[in-house]
Amino acid sequence: MSEPQSFIRKCVFSLDHKVIGIQYIVTGFVMAIVGGLLSLLIRLQLGWPTTLWPILETLMPNAYQSGVMSPEFYLAAVTMHGTIMAFFFVSYVLVSGFGNYLVPLQVGAKDMAFPLLNMLSYWIGLLSAIVMILAFFVEGGAAAAGWTAYPPLSAIATAVPGSGLGQTVWLLSMALFIVSFTMTGMNVVATVFSMRAKGMSMMRMPLTVWSYFISAVMGLLAFPPLTAAAIMLLFDRHGGTAFFLPAGLSVGGQLIDVGGGSPLLWQHLFWFLGHPEVYVLILPALGITFDILPAFTRKPIFGYRISVWSLIIAGFLGLIVWGHHMFVSGMSPFTGEYFSLATLLITIPMAIVGVCMLGSLWGAQLKMATPGLFILGLISLFGTGGFGGLFLGNATADIQLHDTYFVVGHFHLMIGGVTVFGLFAAVYFWFPKMFGRMMNEPLGRVHFWASTIGYYLVFLTQHFVGLRGAPRRYYSFASYEYLEGIATSNMFISTVAFILGAAQLLFLFNFAWSAFKGKRAEANPWRATTLEWTVPSPPPHGNFAEEPVVHRWPYEYSPDGADEDFAGQEVDGSTVPVTA
């Protein structure tokens, strides 16, 4: 592979998986700023529902007429915050971004299996992100039917202002997103199957690679149905079909003259993607945990094989439990009970993964650094969030808890917490590899403390608001007597949310500043074992000067006979005995 020389081929339309990975990561963080600001506007409304905001009126006259957020904008903010954070932030940074960057390096390949497809994936992904943002500027505003876009609300333009052009744009963007994501998934699967270095057997792959592999397989199986569903919904909206619209609808006094479809069909198709999406996002965070943690505990992880199988089983079960989002949808209660039992089965492999993480601390020698701290935070959030799943996967308990703030708190700890902590840890850990410079440690520590405390105070507190019966997606709770008690909680949550948001500015500053001014990094600053640490930081085009040969598993920390307290995967058995 010859290295391209022009700036355009090197940094813009690049075929190099590392450049594409970084492009995804930067795009994801830009989207996170948009999604994060939306969440703060939501919290402003919920925390201080009666306060006037003349400044916001000046900035956004349509959304804040006479200083008050409009319900239209509230629903658009809720919808777009969810969509952007799940699909355009976490998916892009953690899955497409780090997946692209890490998989070829960790299996010892020069690049992804299909570099051109990879580049195409990013540019379609970027297009999809731009299209999603454009939704704010069309007539009627952005989509407002929730990130789940349940029809008929999302199908009929008069049902809610966002169901005008905004919803069409949303659907187009989602279809593009899935196209882009599927391309990355194919690349990961092909790369893992066919491009592993000599000696890199499947059972010597780092768990990071395993988790990206399982996540990619799940994405390939689960995501395309939503493309079909999005196209069907577009036809319902603009082509006069009625896949999701039953007969006898009347919206705002206007009869809708179609019929024969089912709103539940959309829910099945949506959650057939939507639930596996959670695993697509969270499995890489768990895999990354197993690779970052031992660099800071200086000992092999506990239960490598058991963790591999647990992740595979959790991934498989993740594909067949989508109905637990639909217990009270009108679905048959017999089906509901199946989905409940299957969902709760997932707690078994997931609990085993959690215990393997705890076991990895047994007898360890803990080194303090920001990536390791975020991994500790992740383990805690994974436990807490996982326990919340025991309530919601339980069809009986879910009758009361469905669509309350308990759900909001739960998924923010899991796909909004575990994944984001994983992604932060990954940035702090691999930043030196990507940019050849270290991130600032004191800023990282502040970021860790504020984020951990902030996440718990915001999202675990929301669970208890949910136990009181507060429904989600409410613009205001003021008219409900039984919810009088939550006003104080909401103000508290909003206050902490702003502190949490401010802490993320530290991170963004640290990222941007360190990329240019950070301390120079060595090739292997964390003294870690996987293959990417054997090449210079940043790695050259083509990654490895000569094809690496792998002699051992990736967790050879504190082995006997080594000069140092680790042996990389490339170290042969003649000097340090091979564990696995």
Residues 195 to 254 in contact with another protein, rule: CB under 8 A: 245-253
Give whichever of 235 and 477 is closer to another protein, judged by the CB atom: 477
Minimum distance of another protein from residue 513's CB (angstroms): 21
Q: Is 527 in the site for another protein (CB under 8 A)?
A: yes
- Six-digit token string for 520: 């120079």
Stretch that binds another protein, among 58-66, 80-88, 148-156, 509-517 (CB under 8 A): 148-156
d(CA 39, CA 279): 23
For residue 495, the minimal CB distance to another protein (Å) is 17
Region from 7-15, 88-96, 101-109, 389-397 binding another protein, contact rule CB under 8 A: 389-397
**What single-letter DSSP state applies at residue 254?**
E
Among 391, 492, 498, 513, binds another protein (CB under 8 A): 391
Q: How far is the CB of 207 from another protein (least distance, A)?
A: 15
The identity of residue 128, as a single letter, is S
CB 463 within 8 A of CB 396: no
Interior angle at CA 350, CA 345 and CA 354, nearest 5: 150
DSSP tag of 478 = T
Q: Which of residues 393 and 568 has its CB atom nearest to another protein in the complex?
A: 393
C-alpha dihedral sign at 410, 411, 415, 421: negative
Residues 278-337 that bind another protein (CB under 8 A): 297-300, 302-303, 305-306, 310, 328-330, 333, 337
394 binds another protein (CB under 8 A): yes
137 makes contact with another protein (CB under 8 A): no
Stretch that binds another protein, among 55-63, 191-199, 224-232, 396-404 (CB under 8 A): 396-404
Contact call for residues 556 and 529 (beta carbons, < 8 A): yes
The position carrying tokens 């840890």 is 425
Rounded Cα–Cα distance for residues 432 and 428 (Å):
8
Pick 29 or 296: Cβ nearer another protein? 296
Helix (H) or strand (E) holding 255: strand 254-256
Question: Closest by alpha carbon to 180, among 87, 274, 269?
Answer: 87
List, as one string, the DSSP characters of 375-387: HHHHHHHHHHHHH
Of 90-98, 147-155, 219-227, 426-434, the segment contacting another protein by CB under 8 A is: 147-155
Tell which one of 51, 194, 396, 575 touches another protein (CB under 8 A). 396
The whole-angstrom separation of Cα 463 and Cα 417 is 14
Q: CA–CA separation, 278 vs 284, rounded Å? A: 11
Binding residues among 61-100 for another protein as defined by CB under 8 A: 71-72, 75
Query: Residue 113 interacts with another protein (CB under 8 A)?
Result: no
Three-class secondary structure of residue 566 per DSSP: strand
Of 12, 365, 549, 575, the one binding another protein (CB under 8 A) is: 365
The footprint of another protein on this chain (CB under 8 A) covers a number of residues equal to 110
Q: Which of 13, 48, 114, 475 binds another protein (CB under 8 A)?
A: 475
Asked if 520 interacts with another protein (CB under 8 A), we say no
Q: Which of 8, 139, 240, 362 contacts another protein by CB under 8 A?
A: 362
Is position 263 an interface residue for another protein (rule: CB under 8 A)? yes
Closer residue to another protein (CB): 228 or 348: 348
d(C-alpha 144, C-alpha 158), whole Å? 12
Among 137, 193, 482, 509, binds another protein (CB under 8 A): 482
**H, E, C per residue of 403-467:** CEHHHHHHHHHHHHHHHHHHHHHHHHHHHHHHHCECCCHHHHHHHHHHHHHHHHHHHHHHHHHHH
> Least CB distance from residue 273 to another protein, whole Å?
19
For residue 501, give Cα distances in angstroms to 39, 176, 381, 456: 9, 29, 18, 14
Can residue 145 be called a binding residue for another protein (CB under 8 A)? yes
27-to-128, 169, 238, 507 alpha-carbon distances in Å: 11, 19, 31, 16
Among 233, 405, 557, 576, binds another protein (CB under 8 A): 557
> Toward another protein, which CB reaches closer, 153 or 174?
153
Q: Which two tokens stand for residue 113?
A: 């299996």
Report if residue 471 touches another protein, rule: CB under 8 A: yes
Cβ closer to another protein: 103 or 395? 395
Kindly tell me which of 94 and 153 has the beta carbon lying closer to another protein: 153
Would you say 315 or 548 has its CB closer to another protein? 315
Query: Binding to another protein by residue 142, rule CB under 8 A?
Result: no
State the alpha helices, DSSP H only, in 48-156.
54-59, 71-83, 98-107, 115-134
Binding window for another protein (CB under 8 A); candidates: 126-134, 155-163, 176-184, 233-241: 155-163
For another protein, the closer CB: 95 or 369 = 369
Choice from 142, 207, 364, 427 touching another protein (CB under 8 A): 364
SS3 category, 250: strand
Q: How many residues appear in the chain?
A: 580
